[in-house]
Chains A and B, each alone.
Chain A
Amino acid sequence: MKLRSALGRVRGLGSAKNGFGHWWHQRLTAIALVPLSLWFVNAILAHMHDDHATVVNWIGSPFVSVLLIALILSLFYHAKLGLQVVIEDYLHDELYKLVALVAMKFAVAFGALLGVVAVLKISLGLA
């Protein structure tokens, strides 16, 4: 059975050779997120009634700042990898797919930067 279309064959289209990297990074971030996200849920339960001074003091401690930044980076990278697959699988119009992928990547990058800057501002004592 031929699995490739005639057009695909004549264009010589094949794997872009970066599928494994995507797959592996998704697993790496998934493994990192298991402890990080459980720690975060637990921390939110412990600190949800804190006033501003207490919560800022807590976030500002180096270990908490680092864990939060590690969480933000793995979370947004994991989200980018997952959303990319969903867009690629369900959006079939090439233009819509491209626009959606670019918009998603910009949004995810913006979110990650926003989160990291917020944590840094707090941990540098500027909040």
Chain B
Amino acid sequence: MANNPISPHLQVYRPQLTSVLSISHRISGVFLAIGTVMILYWLVAASLGPAAYAEAKRCLAALPTQILLFGWTFAFFYHLCNGIRHLLWDSGRGFELETAYKSGYAAIGGAVALTLLTWLCVLTQGGGA
């Protein structure tokens, strides 16, 4: 075997904002892929008729589901904001360390703000989806 460079050694690796956001992009992506089941559940219930749809609405409004949906909302907005950050990198911009940190903080701030805004809308519309 050639003495290939391998990275990073997680046992001795000191996480930074950039690396934590990088792995969070993957984790949120996997979590969101699981969350597509909720979209399918809602659509299939609507396609099955009034009884199935009423049952789905009850289930989606239950507290455990609402907590999960809150998690998916944050994961969605984080993946969206950080994804836009990735698209800007793809255009060849924003690689300077200082810029990468600024855009990282912007992605977190944007995700928190959009999540809170969305759930403010949910809660002011009579509580529970």
Contact = CB atoms under 8 A, between A and B. Distances in A.
Interface of A: 1-7, 27, 30-31, 34, 37-38, 41, 44-45, 48-49, 51-53, 55-56, 59, 68, 72, 75-76, 79, 82-83, 86, 108, 111, 114-115, 117-119, 121-122, 126-127
Interface residues of B, number: 37
B102 interface: no
Given A5-B2, A7-B1, A31-B87, A37 B121 contact: no
Contact of A115 (B29, B30, B40, B53): B40
Contacts of A3: 2, 4-5
A10 to B, nearest CB: 12
Nearest to A31: B87
B80 interface: yes
Contacts of A1: 3, 5
A108 B49 CA distance: 25
Contact of A27 (B3, B5, B80, B87): B87
A127 B51 CA distance: 11
A7 B4 CA distance: 13
B5 to A, nearest CB: 8
Interface of B: 1-5, 26, 29-30, 32-33, 36-37, 39-40, 43-44, 46-50, 53-54, 73, 76, 80, 83-84, 86-87, 90, 118, 121-122, 125-126, 129
Contact of A83 (B30, B76, B80): B30
A48 B44 contact: no
A42 to B, nearest CB: 9
B29 A82 contact: yes
Given A56-B46, A75-B39, A86-B29, 18 more contacts: A2-B2, A3-B5, A27-B87, A37-B76, A41-B76, A49-B126, A52-B46, A52-B53, A68-B43, A76-B36, A79-B36, A82-B29, A111-B37, A115-B44, A118-B40, A122-B46, A127-B48, A127-B49
A118 B48 CA distance: 8
B43 A52 contact: no
A55 B40 contact: no
A121 B46 CA distance: 10
Contacts of B76: 37, 41
Given A27-B90, A82-B29, A83-B33, A55 B53 contact: yes
A6 B47 CA distance: 57
Q: Which 4 A-B pairs have the closest CB atoms?
A: A52-B50, A118-B47, A118-B43, A52-B53
